[in-house]
Structure 1
Amino acid sequence: MLARAAAHDASNLVEPEKSAFDLLLPRLRGVPYGSAGFRAVEAEMAEAIAHHHAANSHHPEHYGNRGIAGMDLFDLVEMVCDWMAAAERRPEDGVRLDINAAQFGIAPQLESIIANTLARWPRG
């Protein structure tokens, strides 16, 4: 896990991701997660996002049609940590597990486990 943490999302520090993320990520601050505005910014970053998903196994999209079912526990832990970090862009939204569960087809039992984990996570 420590090695994964050190390499986490390293692909967004090099092209073809870096310039897109540098330009568009600041535009996501203050935009509600899952909103039309959020999706519009995502659409502008589609190429960089596709590269990012292909390079990072903690994204369900990395596994194509298998999605979450292709992941292991390391991927799941890293995915939840990623969601928490992304939620810091708009703290009032927090982690929108409802949106993510619907988007990625997360089964109710796993959704409950993730919700329990988020509830226990210490807040800074």
Structure 2
Amino acid sequence: MARHIITTANAPTSPLYSQGVKAGSHVFVSGTAGIDPSTGSLVESTIQAQTRQALTNCEAILHAAGASLDDVIEVGVLLANPTDFTGLNEEYARWFPSEPPTRYVAKLGPELPGLLVSIRMTAFTE
């Protein structure tokens, strides 16, 4: 099965990893932070704002792969501060209001200045 690298100007980029990879019917979105792709900087310093931007970035990568949030089957969330769990859930529930995908939340390993959350996704398209 061939893999196709997914890129979009509507999400942050890095030379160290692909924004996404499509393999068959699966789309894998790399861990994405709350970085505004137009400025290359983190958005506001609240967990809600960074979660919203990270999800916006993930959605842009999904769209570049021909998928949508409705196709997401798993979400992985890494939090810098476990105390931000409630704020994360406040914003996350707006994006997946019913029948959400599977999800895990863990503590982010490296301490990166200002970074509160990183979100990755797997989607399945037919």
TM-score of the pair, normalised by structure 2: 0.36
TM-score of the pair, normalised by structure 1: 0.36
Question: Larger RCO: Structure 1 or Structure 2 (Cα < 8 Å, ≥ 6 residues apart)?
Answer: 2
Greater share of strand? 2
Greater share of helix? 1
